[in-house]
Amino acid sequence: MMTCSDGSASRKCFSSLSTSIRQLLSFKAAGNESFQARRYSEAVEQYSSALACNSESRPFSAVCFCNRAAAYQALGQLTDAIADCSLAMVLDANYPKAISRRATLYEMIRDYGQSANDLRKLISLLQKQANKPGASPKVVNKHSDLKQARARLLSVEDEARKDTPLNFYLILGVEPSCSPPDIKKAYRKAALRHHPDKATQLLVRNENTDDGFWRDIAKEVYSDADHLFKTIGEAYNILSDPGKREEYDIEENLRNAGRRAFKGRNTPRSPEQHYRKQYDRGFSPRQWQSAGQSNNGAPRSRWSGYEYTDDYW
């Protein structure tokens, strides 16, 4: 942290700090604008620039990580999105948006156990916020969020009891029709990017590692990254083996046939179910950004009608 001793140095310090803040806010605003315009790759670059410049404000970094996760999600890079949500959550443990978004991402890849854990965290946090004396109208609205989170938890717990395998294609970000070389390439990229050791290095690269805060969260960061890394490895283990992949594909086809046979629409579908139809037709994860178009071409949330939000700050 910059310190200033005399008046002249204080003015220079304040000027430098103001410039840095304006630059950070500019990157973040540019990222939000790109996201809103559906230029998700640009949004990732802008949020990354903000993160590279910021080394002081943990809450600001948490927001940038969470926003970048939304952009990665729109690009179909779900493991990248999960990793960013995890970093946002350790930087700001009281950040409901990051917790909710990661719960949704875990549900999409059918890691229902992890999704349920996040939803329990979310419910606990919302309960504390809603029960604070003298809560503002914004906090009072947490009551509706709390009701929705409880409904989501019941749905996810029901799915967890079915013991459905993970969605390995979504985890690696490849199509079901992809070739073995494509799978190998996607795995190498994901495994290199999400190695647990890299996660801790990314978070503390510009920080004082002697700070007790970083020592306390190091284990949590490593644990989250380790789970994601093992999930990526499990996906590769199945999809790289011709026999295991064939068996997995047959089971997937049977599950999809069962879903198509069910015509009821009274129960809201999960994000993974919502995209299953397009994905079965060879729908590329990189085309997800165009999936949020209404019939008249107007942008809308991909979770519209399914009680999921995809907004940003």
Which is higher by pLDDT, 250 or 309? 250
Report the pLDDT value the prediction gives residue 298, as an integer from 0 to 100. Answer: 42
Average pLDDT over residues 192-205: 77
Convert the pLDDT of each residue in 247-257 to its tens digit. 999 999 998 88
Q: 50 and 64 in contact (C-beta within 8 Å)?
A: yes
Per-residue pLDDT tens for 129-184? Answer: 887 776 555 554 657 889 999 999 999 999 999 989 999 999 999 999 999 999 99
308 is a domain residue:
no
Cβ(155)–Cβ(269) under 8 Å?
Answer: no
Amino acid 227: pLDDT:
96
Which residues contact residue 292 at a Cβ distance below 8 angstroms, ignoring those fewer than 6 apart?
38, 299, 300, 301, 302, 304, 310
pLDDT of residue 290: 39
- The DSSP call for residue 215 is H
Residue 202: its pLDDT value, please?
62
Number of independent structural domains in the chain? 1
Q: What is the pLDDT of residues 87-96, one digit of tens each?
A: 999 989 999 9
Whether the CB-CB separation of 11 and 2 falls below 8 Å is answered with no
185/100 Cα distance (integer angstroms): 30
Predicted confidence at residue 239, as pLDDT, reads 97
Taking 50 as the threshold, does the pLDDT of residue 276 lie above it? no
pLDDT of residue 286: 44
Domain assignment of residue 10, yes or no: no
Does this model's pTM top 0.85? My answer is no
User: Which of the residue ranges 75-79, 155-159, 163-167, 304-308 would you say has the lowest mean pLDDT?
Assistant: 304-308
Residue ranges making up the domain that contains 212: 19-110+164-290
In a domain, 153, yes or no: no
Q: What is the CATH number of the domain that holds 271?
A: 1.25.40.10
Cα–Cα dist 166/235, whole Å? 8
Residue at 168 is within a domain: yes
Residue 4 is predicted with a pLDDT of 53
Residue 103, pLDDT score? 97
Kindly state whether residue 135 falls inside one of the protein's structural domains. no
pLDDT for 54 equals 64
The pLDDT assigned to 204 comes to 55
Residue of 56 and 11 predicted with greater confidence: 56
Domain assignment of residue 139, yes or no:
no
pLDDT: which is higher, 132 or 33: 33
Q: What is the CA radius of gyration of the chain?
A: 21
Residue scoring higher pLDDT (122 or 313): 122
Average pLDDT, the chain: 79
- Kindly state whether residue 147 falls inside one of the protein's structural domains: no
Q: Domain for residue 174, yes or no?
A: yes
